Chains A and B, each alone.
Chain A
């Protein structure tokens, strides 16, 4: 584990004063957070706190106001395809695999923005997820939830991103599958040097993995610290781990 906490010398993603919403309803009321290079940052929040909205702001899926800088470049008004090309890829909530397309076509779609050859990457992800290699010609919709989550991660990685966004990756997965999933996310950081921004409700596993974490409540950041610090914080324990203190 690298849980350094303060070492945000090189933020790959810098978000400040982020506001967004749907129609007249504002969901995010001025959020500030950063993701350092090679860091896993978790934003913890309950249903309706604004986790998915935060993700959609970074990936350019909705209108947003404020500062969103990626590698020092302003992307606050960039469109989703430009953001993918810049090096940010998102694993959407509920997997979002192309259910009617084969596993292989899902991965090829992930490489849509690449101009050069991606055969090496395809091989790499099939070696990393042998289950996907076995099912490469099957429709993605026929995979189990855990397999679909692996596919969604591999698809997102096919665009060769520098920052990976994961929207509630543990949602709907069995605990043992969730553990496996978080191990894989940890390997992306440790072996490939990826930076990850993960929004989650599952505090236990995600905080154990996180270098740093933020707590999001009704559209505002209310607490921040290292994963280890928040894991032993009494308020967090009570609100997100179901531990009565």
Chain B
């Protein structure tokens, strides 16, 4: 079927916007997967680490620091908060009762949400973007206007993926992280300090969450609830991709972003169903249920098959 020029440009616009939003979900889902693989926990506080980091970026930029430097410093904060949660909350509780950790993490989520409000107040702020983000900062691709900041977000995801790939496949620490995720007992026996490696994993996830929030906040507006929706969508993305698969997290995140983009503003309706933003979460719920019912391991998750 031929698309008229305006149809094509609308498609391209929605597609790239979907990839950009999807990149944010993919980053968050990656952070979830890194932790799930090593600790088997779903970090409910993930989004709030990001929100706190984004507020920190805003404070730093207000003092006149460049945006890039502010974000880099906030990544350090995210690392510290993630690692701190592992050391102070997760590890002591896991020793006593592994299934209680999830409740504790929900507690951390609430505490961080309130703490952020306490420190930075409840008024919305605007966060400067790392990329040119004025009204006329867009390029035209196949007739579609695409904001440069959107392309930048996709670029950030690509850079993070390359760095993570290099970390996991080319470095000793990365090998240790994969080993610990696979078998903690054996990791101990080859001399890996598993506690330290878990700490690094949580710290890394914290940094990734802050990066996701710093990419999202300039367009979404910085409030205490910045990451609530994205965290839910990233959870769906992680389950869709397979909770133990980094590739799955990225593919899942992009799919969720694309579904969102084409659900709203592409066609006004399907049959008699009017497509509105309100449909996003119900549709995601249906996708989530479908995955859990028909393919519980997700698109790329592994079923544990092992020869004895």
Which of A's residues lie within 8 Å of B, judged by CB? 59, 61, 79-81, 84-85, 89-90, 92, 96-101, 105, 108-110, 112-113, 141-145, 148, 155-156, 159, 172
The residue on B at minimum CB distance from A59 is: B189
15 A–B pairs (Cβ distance < 8 Å), ordered by A: A61-B189, A81-B188, A81-B191, A81-B192, A90-B189, A96-B185, A98-B186, A99-B183, A100-B181, A101-B178, A105-B175, A109-B192, A143-B307, A159-B190, A172-B308
Residues A85 and B191 in contact in the complex (CB < 8 Å), given A98-B183, A145-B307? yes
Q: What is the bound-complex CA distance between A108 and B172, given in angstroms?
A: 9
Question: Would B185 and A159 count as touching, CB distance under 8 A?
Answer: no
User: Which residues on the B side are within 8 Å of A97 (C-beta)?
Assistant: 183, 186
Chain B residues proximal to chain A, CB less than 8 Å: 172, 175-176, 178-179, 181-183, 185-193, 302, 305-308
- List B contacts of A148 (CB < 8 A): 307
Main secondary structure of the interface of B (DSSP, over half): helix
- Contact: B183 with A96, CB < 8 Å? yes
Cα distance A85–B189 in the bound complex, in angstroms: 11
Task: Report the bound CA distance from A61 to B187 in whole Å.
Answer: 11
Provide the bound-state CA to CA distance between A61 and B194, in Å: 12
- Closest residue on chain B to residue A55 by CB atoms: B189
Partner of A100 from the list B182, B187, B188, B192 (CB cut-off 8 Å) is: B182
Chain A residues within an 8 Å CB radius of B189: 59, 61, 80, 84, 89-90, 92, 96, 156
Chain A residues positioned under 8 Å from B179 (CB to CB): 98, 101, 105, 109, 112
**Taking CB as reference atom, which chain A residue is nearest B183?**
A98
A155 proximity list for chain B (CB < 8 A)? 190
Asked if B182 and A112 make an inter-chain contact with CB atoms under 8 angstroms apart, the answer reads no
- For B37, the closest partner residue in chain A by CB is A100
The 5 closest A-B pairs by CB, nearest first: A84-B191, A113-B191, A96-B186, A81-B191, A80-B188
Known: A92-B185, A99-B183, A100-B302. A144 touches B192 (CB 8 A): no
A112 touching B178, Cβ below 8 Å: no
Q: Report which of B176, B182, B185, B190 forms a contact with A99, defined as CB distance below 8 A.
A: B182
Known pairs A98-B179, A159-B190 / 14 extra A-B pairs, C-beta < 8 Å: A61-B188, A61-B189, A84-B190, A89-B189, A97-B183, A98-B183, A105-B178, A109-B187, A112-B172, A112-B176, A112-B192, A113-B191, A143-B307, A156-B189
